[in-house]
Amino acid sequence: PALQNLIAIGKKWKQKTNGGLPKPDDPNKGSKYILCQFPYPSGKLHIGHLRVYVISDSLNRFYKQRGYNVIHPMGWDAFGLPAENAAIEKGINPAIWTKDNISKMKQQMENMLANFDWDREIATCDPEYYKFTQWIFLKLFENGLAYRKEAEINWDPIDKTVLANEQVDSQGRSWRSGAIVEKKQLKQWFLGITKFAPKLKRHLSKLKDWPSNVKQMQKNWIGESAGAELKFKSTDSNFADLVVFTTRPETLFAVQYVALALDHPIVQQFSKTVADLKEFINKSDQLSNDTKEGFLLPNIKAVNPLTKEQIPVFTAPYVISSYGSAPSAVMGCPGHDTRDFEFWKQNCPGKHIKTCITPFFDNLSELSDKEKQKIIETVPFTSTNGVLSKETGEYSGLYTEVARNSIMGKLQNEGLSKNIVRYKIRDWLISRQRYWGTPIPIVHCNSCGPVPVPESDLPIKLPELKGVNTKGNPLSTIDEFVNVACPSCGSPAKRETDTMDTFIDSSWYYFRFLDPKNTSKPFDRDIVSKHMPVDIYIGGVEHAILHLLYSRFIAKFLGSINAWDDPTGIFEPFKKLVTQGMVQGKTYVDPDTGRFLKPDELKSVKNSTDGHQVIIKCSGKTPVISYEKMSKSKHNGADPNECISKHGPDATRAHILFQSPIADALNWDESKIVGIERWLQKVLLLTKNILDLEESMAITKDYKTPNDLNDAELKLHNGFQRLLKSITESYEVYISLNTVISDYMKLTNSLETALKKGEVRSEILVQNLQKLISVIYPAVPSVSEEAAEMISSKMEWNQYQWPAVERITESQFTKFQIVVNGRVKFMYTADKDFFKLGKDTVIETLIKLPEGRKYLMNKKIKKFVMKNNVVSFLF
């Protein structure tokens, strides 16, 4: 038969997908909130998007088939720089540019048969949405969690805006533009995420269904450490005490210096009189925290609070400045800390290195002091697995932890130590000097200071951008926007012209999806409390810190002001997190020049082993092939829209799922899609052939698997049940969708084999065919619909109902041994209850068999026994 056209089938069933799926038939099943990270409307669905949406749509359809009321929304993270840049470059209104892109992308989502709840659609640039982003800001402000402060900040010279710390990578580059950020002193708006740091850290352990690598990254970013603030008195009474933070007070015996951050007030004081110091600070500002430069402060010593020893004081860029809370200082312990060790080697070369902790159970204790010193000069002993050494007097021989507590207790009594927990995370800088974002609802008044805009005046709408302005903050040039009356005293005042970081827009969108049309509140408390948290959240691992951390913060904040309720009390927004790996493109490199090759520089040729091989057109050489992150410069991008139009939506979807486990990178190789296409064709053909078997065959809606299955039927039935169980668990428990596709193929093959052998009754073939067609629906909906249409034309059944996994059926039949005078003569297969028929019937049945006639006929039975599947005759 002619191949079915998978593209046409996809188009045919697209309509149905957009119209939504049949309502679940079980109102008691409850709801499932399945969410994928919403995209920035760039206008083009890329392959990474496609992967997320295929995963989330398959889960969406699966849970619908299971009878759940599934919430599966889609919207647009629509504020951001590309729209603004398009406006600057082409003079297009960013709102129109964005709308245009949204409709294009929606089209592409429909082409891939993604079934979203379009009645919940939102766009964060819509005033009806950002009105409530502003409302959330006002609530934060009211609660002292939004404030303006002058601080040293990260400035992105390409995007011409400041950035939050989370948006600068470990190499000091902007997450968006890739530019090396500069440090600047500016007055900016911050959100008090650090107030939530203890909870953000503690609740990570409750997120049982999150990947552990994501939790670890958040944990590191939050950076909780329990330690002590120790007071080092200064020998110069003109200066305040030096307060250091340490997690290792027991190392005090080996402390050799104190180092202050460059912005420490004492350093600032010194820099007024010490000329070299000023120079050092200016120079060091450009250096990273990894450098181990130092500057010795003259005429000042610090007094060790425990040993009372006087030690030198340095300032050094490796001491991370505190962004304004307590001034930063460390006690330097070269013998037990790697950073301090490197600092000491560089700034005091050749000088003795002290130690006060001896490792357990090693031969160090048998070494002479000289030998020990030799070892310590090459590598510091940083572990806490040890005891205090003999130079530490009363502490000598104590375990580090014991010594630590005892030292802290002693110093605490003297007012020189305080237990504290510190966090590395800093408050979230949210001001952006850009146009296309949510305006911050604040008015600056000369007499009242920053005044919040009254709730009733929301939204503060973005004014139209007049003309092209590339310099400075666009909003500050629009006088009608800037000049307003102070909401508090009425005198002339100026509106805040910074807009908010777009990560605020996306930190609460999952709430809005649950109540998207609410005009009086961001969302209704009861509705949201009923459906939150999101059951399954799917997205890229690149947001492990940024978006996920911000969302957890805002969800907890909204919980703290009673905007929603969570009976578990943790107010976490995402119950299960699925992070999908990157999609990588096949990359060809010229072995001679190392240049990335374009597709038109390559050609495919037949090779000796009957396969195909790619060579470089001009040289005939074989290129070096690897898989790498898709990018323009590597010519390795794949266009998902093209794939869908060439192979149809179902083949594309199944191909994406089949290629690799969700969390792994996916190496995009379109040539492998033929295997999937073959399988889909087989499904359709098999459906046709089974239905052709017996025109009159009709099985009723509540057809039950019969009890009297023969061996072939049993094999088919049991094989199906095993695979159905595996598929159900793969969706429900493991979210392992590549194995789902291979299980589909196994189901299809076993049905095909059963059909060919001809030993299975046709109603049993049909029954299993129905199961196959139902369970492939989540991944390949249009082929499933097409096959279902064929089946439904002959009989009534519910294709959207997920088949229940039946128990593996045992055989009704047993093999019996027929033994004559002690020897096995033949085997007989009969109903398990054969013996229950009684002695006479059993003998009569056996004698009638061909073998019975041969071995049993016309003999005088001396003894007869039937027991344990053995029938024994003695003649």
| Residues of this chain that bind ligand ANZ (CB under 6 A) | 225, 245-248, 251, 319-320, 328, 330-331, 333, 336-337
Query: Least distance from C-beta 403 to ligand ANZ, angstroms?
Result: 13
Toward ligand ANZ, which CB reaches closer, 129 or 395?
395
Closest to Zn ion by CB, 298 vs 492, is 492
The dihedral through the CA atoms of 835, 840, 843, 848 has a sign that is negative
Q: Choose, by CB under 5 A, the member of 92, 243, 448, 697 that binds Zn ion.
A: 448
Measured CA to CA, the distance from residue 586 to residue 826 in angstroms comes to 62
The minimum distance between CB 446 and Zn ion, in angstroms, equals 7
Residue 634 to residue 597: CA distance in whole angstroms: 7
* Residue range at the interface with Zn ion (CB under 5 A); choices 5-13, 410-418, 447-455, 720-728: 447-455
3-state SS class at 544: coil
**Nearer CB in complex with ligand ANZ: 412/613:** 412
Bridge partners of 602, per DSSP, are 616
Amino acid identity for residue 523 in this structure = F
Pairing of strands 431-432, 499-500: antiparallel
Name the burial class of residue 355, with classes exposed (0-12), middle (13-18) and buried (19+) by CB atoms within 10 angstroms of its CB.
buried
Radius of gyration over alpha carbons of the chain, in Å? 37
Q: Tell me the closest approach of the beta carbon of residue 486 to Zn ion, in angstroms.
A: 3
CB closer to ligand ANZ, 223 vs 637: 223
The residue behind tokens 């295929």 is 54
Amino acid symbol at 597: L
Return the number of the residue (292 or 543) whose C-beta is nearest ligand ANZ: 292
Task: Give the CA dihedral 360, 366, 368, 371, nearest 10 degrees.
Answer: -60
Q: Which is nearer to Zn ion, 70 or 138 (CB)?
A: 138
Residue 315 interaction partner, one of Zn ion, ligand ANZ, none, beta carbon < 5-8 Å per kind? none
Nearer to ligand ANZ, 342 or 669 (CB): 342
Pick the piece of the chain touching Zn ion (CB under 5 A) from 228-236, 480-488, 508-516, 789-797. 480-488
Stretch that binds Zn ion, among 7-15, 481-489, 638-646, 791-799 (CB under 5 A): 481-489
Residue 504's binding partner among ligand ANZ, Zn ion, none (Cβ under 5 to 8 angstroms by kind) is none
Least CB distance to Zn ion at residue 445 (A): 3
Q: Does 485 bind Zn ion (CB under 5 A)?
A: no
Residue 136's DSSP bridge partners are: none
Pairing of the two strands 182-191 and 428-429: antiparallel
Q: Return the number of other C-beta atoms located less than 10 Å from residue 752's C-beta.
A: 16
Integer Cα distance of 827 and 870 in angstroms:
9
Which among ligand ANZ, Zn ion, none contacts residue 700 (Cβ within 5 to 8 A by kind)? Answer: none
Minimum CB–partner distance for residue 265 and ligand ANZ (Å): 14
Residue 484 within binding range of Zn ion, rule CB under 5 A: no
Selected range binding Zn ion among 330-338, 444-452, 663-671, 806-814, rule: CB under 5 A: 444-452
Q: Which helix (H) or strand (E) holds 484?
A: strand 483-485
Distance from chain centroid for Cα 492:
48
Sequence-ordered list of residues with C-beta below 8 angstroms from that of 366, at least 6 positions apart, any chain: none
Residue 388: CB minimum distance to ligand ANZ, A: 13
Residue pair 516/469 in contact by the 8 Å Cβ criterion? no
Q: Are 22 and 68 in contact (CB under 8 A)?
A: no
Could you give the CA distance from residue 251 to residue 333 in angstroms, rounded to a whole number? 7
Choose, by CB under 5 A, the member of 287, 489, 827, 870 that binds Zn ion. Answer: 489
Q: How far is the CB of 149 from ligand ANZ (least distance, A)?
A: 19
420 vs 808 by CB, closer to ligand ANZ: 420
Measure the N-to-C terminal CA separation of the chain; round to a whole number of Å.
Answer: 62
Decide which of ligand ANZ, Zn ion, none touches 336; Cβ closer than 5 to 8 Å per partner kind: ligand ANZ
The β-bridge partners of 296 are 314
Residue 486 binding partner per list ligand ANZ, Zn ion, none, with a CB distance cut-off of 5 to 8 Å that depends on partner kind: Zn ion
Report, in Å, the least distance between residue 239 CB and ligand ANZ.
Answer: 19
| Minimum distance of ligand ANZ from residue 359's CB (angstroms) | 13
Amino acid at 708: D
Tokens 């057109």 map to which residue? 617
CA-based angle 361:367:369, to the nearest 5? 120
Based on CB atoms, which residue is closest to Zn ion, 180 or 489?
A: 489
Indicate the burial class of 393 (C-beta count within 10 angstroms; 0-12, 13-18, 19 or more): exposed
Nearest distance in Å: CB 557, Zn ion: 27
DSSP 755: H
**Interface segment toward Zn ion; rule CB under 5 A; list 285-293, 446-454, 565-573, 598-606:** 446-454
CB of 485: closest distance to Zn ion in angstroms? 8
Token pair recorded at residue 399: 């375990």
Residue 647 binding: pick among Zn ion, ligand ANZ, none (C-beta 5-8 Å cut-off by kind): none
For ligand ANZ, give the closer residue by CB, 423 or 826. Answer: 423
Compute the least distance from the CB of residue 375 to ligand ANZ, in Å.
16
- The window from 486-494, 553-561, 658-666, 793-801 that contacts Zn ion (CB under 5 A) reads 486-494
Q: What angle do CA 491, 496, 498 make, to 5 degrees?
A: 170
Q: Count CB neighbours of 15 within 10 A.
A: 9
- Among 151, 445, 500, 779, the residue binding Zn ion under the rule CB under 5 A is 445
Contact residues for Zn ion, defined by CB under 5 A = 445, 447-448, 486, 488-489
